[in-house]
Amino acid sequence: MSIMNRTTIVLTDDLKVEASRRARARGVSFGALVREALDKLLKEPSESVAQQSRRKAVEVMLRFSDDAPAGPPHLSERLDDDLYGGPPARSRS
């Protein structure tokens, strides 16, 4: 059996009421519900801040792309023509 440590947490009234209601509905103490929730949360793999930022950026771009009008069908084939008014300049080596 693990040693238990007493601690204090600060909760909003709404959070405390909902957590207490769920604990009663499950037939467990408030403390047991909190321990179970923390245990579940801490077992999940954590994302780094950079990973979270990338994931959120991709989500935003995907949402935007659904609403964006489609470009010309040839855009990917003639990108330089459309952007610069002509084919890409060839470098002489």
Reply yes or no on whether the pLDDT at 74 is more than 90: no
* Cα→Cα distances 16→6, 23, 39, 66, 85, Å: 17, 10, 18, 39, 63
Single pTM value for the model: 0.49
DSSP letter for 78, please.
Answer: S
Task: Give pLDDT tens digits for 16-45.
Answer: 999 999 999 999 999 999 999 999 988 887
Reply yes or no on whether the pLDDT at 47 is more than 70: yes
